[in-house]
Every structure is written in structure tokens, then in C-alpha cells.
Homo-oligomer: A and B are copies of this chain.
């Protein structure tokens, strides 16, 4: 069953609460697959299903819930696309559907689609990225450990490879920023940072191919990367944040079509 709250019934004074929209919520005749998702989600929220735990076989689950296998599959495909579940065929160990935790791909697709639909503008996304990465830089400067710093340095080194291709540079660039977020120790920062960068991947390539001095821009970006890294290593939180914001704004302004001001 759905635990929908029926608080909309109490609105009796006309005009007073009509300010922020009616909020009718049309009773939600849930589709079967939604009910299946709810049933699974209930187990997850209750803690009965944790990462790595197997779900019943699709046929079992269908008969247990009293629905068809098709409906179960639609629910599982949704959960799979959300990065909550993972399915593999075969038999025995490792076969079946399991609770997983792989949110990055889901976030990436989500952002890519909604950016394409212009539901989120490029400047909205960039601004979000700036705020997240500013905070990542601060936290990384404050508490990054040896391993985390080494991971960031590895990406810096990668970007220094002579004659590097745009694809490899860009992927290392993304990995650099994600590594900083990871050094900050916030998984949501890290996944959002990666998702934003990756969802813009195609646009970034297109923009890059529209400019003349690609190598020059890459060098400039890399110089900024080094400055950011230096601030993080020095533990200078203010400077790391400032340089990060400057870096992202610079990149957005240099790449035509990536900022819509």
C-alpha cells in the first residue's frame, strides 16, 4: 500500500493557501510496476535488503507479489537504471538480481537527458559544479591523506603526457576533479562532480574542436590544475576554493557554447 499523506483535505480557507499552487496530486493510481518498486524499496529502507543481497528470481518475485513477470521486469529495469540493482544471467553463484550501489551512471544519464531537454541550463549546471567543487577543494585542502593526494597527482601526470589526445586529456581532467572530490571524503560530491562533467562530455569535445589553440588552452588549464593542487597540498583552503572557482569559470568562458550568458 502507499502511505500517501492526505493532508490536502484540511485546506478550507479559499485564497489563503492558493499562493504556491494547488498541490492536488491526482490520487496516483499507481501502476503495477510502481507497486513492485515500492515493495522492494520498502525492504531496502527497512534494512532487510542491503548491498550485495540477492533478490528473489524474477519468476518467484512475480508470483510472491501476485503480478506478472513483465511488471516485475519493468520495476527491476527502473531500479537498475537508478543504479540500485544489478542483474546477471547464468546459474548458481553470481546469477540473479542483486542490490548494488552504482549511482554515478544513473546521475550521468539523468543530467545528460535533462540538460539536452534544456530543463537545466548549462549555467545552472556549471554553477552547481562550482559550488560543489569549491567545497571539495576546501575539504581536500583541510584533510586529504597521502593516498588521495597521490590519486590526484596521477591525473596531473597523465595530463602532462606529451602529444596527448583531447579525449584522454579530458578524461584525465574529469578524473582530476573527481579525485579532489574523493579526497574531500564526500561521496555525493564526487558522484555529482563526475556526473556533471561526464554528462557534458560531448559538448566539451564539440566546444574544444571549435577553438583554435587547443594545446594552448590545455596548457593553461593544466597550469591552473597545478595551482589548485599546490593550494591543496599547502592546506590553504581559501586559496584552493578561489582557484577552483576561477578555473571552472575560466574553462566555461573559454569554451564556446558551454556558457549561455
Q: What is the distance, in angstroms, from A148's C-beta to the closest C-beta of chain B? A: 12
Residue with the greatest number of chain B CB neighbours at <10 A, chosen from A116, A134, A164: A116
Taking a contact as CB atoms closer than 8 A, the residue among B82, B120, B135, B150 that contacts A81 in the complex is: B82
Give the shortest distance, in Å, between A105 (CB) and chain B (any CB): 4
Minimal Cβ-Cβ distance residue in B for A189? B128
Contact A110 B106 (CB under 8 A): yes
A91 at the interface (CB under 8 A from B): no
Contact indicator A128/B188 (Cβ below 8 Å): yes
User: Interface residues of A, CB < 8 Å — how many?
Assistant: 82
Interface assignment of A97: CB less than 8 Å from any CB of chain B: no
B168-A13 in contact (CB<8A): yes
**Contact yes or no, A124 B44, CB < 8 A:** no
- State which residues 81-133 of A face B: CB under 8 Å: 81-84, 99, 101-110, 112-114, 116-121, 124-125, 127-128, 131-132
Please pick, from B45, B108, B124, B164, the residue contacting A5 in the complex, using a CB distance under 8 A.
Answer: B108
Of A14-22, A56-64, A215-223, A231-239, the segment with at least 4 beta carbons within 8 Å of chain B is A14-22
Cβ-defined contact, B158 with A41, below 8 A: no
The residue in chain B whose Cβ has the minimal distance to the Cβ of A15 is B161
From B16, B128, B179, contact of A132 by CB (8 A)? B128
**CA–CA, A187 and B122, complex, Å:** 11
Q: Is A230 an interface residue (CB 8 A)?
A: no
CB atoms of B128 and A17 under 8 A apart? no
Residues of B contacting A99 in the complex (Cβ-Cβ under 8 angstroms): 117
Query: Is A39 part of the binding interface, using a Cβ–Cβ cutoff of 8 Å?
Result: no
Cβ of A175 under 8 Å from chain B: yes
- B101, A82: Cβ atoms closer than 8 Å: no
**Apart from A84-B117, A107-B110, A127-B186, what 5 extra A-B contacts exist at CB < 8 Å?**
A51-B119, A75-B77, A103-B119, A120-B187, A127-B189
- Chain A contacts to B: CB under 8 angstroms: 2-7, 10-11, 13, 16-17, 19-20, 33, 41, 44-45, 47, 50-51, 70, 73-75, 77-79, 81-84, 99, 101-110, 112-114, 116-121, 124-125, 127-128, 131-132, 134-135, 150-151, 154-155, 157-158, 161, 164-165, 167-168, 171, 175, 179, 186-189, 191-192, 198, 201-202
**What would 23 A/B residue contacts be, using CB atoms closer than 8 Å?**
A2-B102, A2-B104, A4-B102, A4-B105, A5-B108, A6-B105, A7-B167, A7-B201, A10-B168, A17-B158, A20-B151, A20-B155, A45-B112, A45-B116, A47-B116, A51-B118, A70-B73, A77-B77, A84-B114, A84-B117, A101-B117, A106-B110, A131-B131
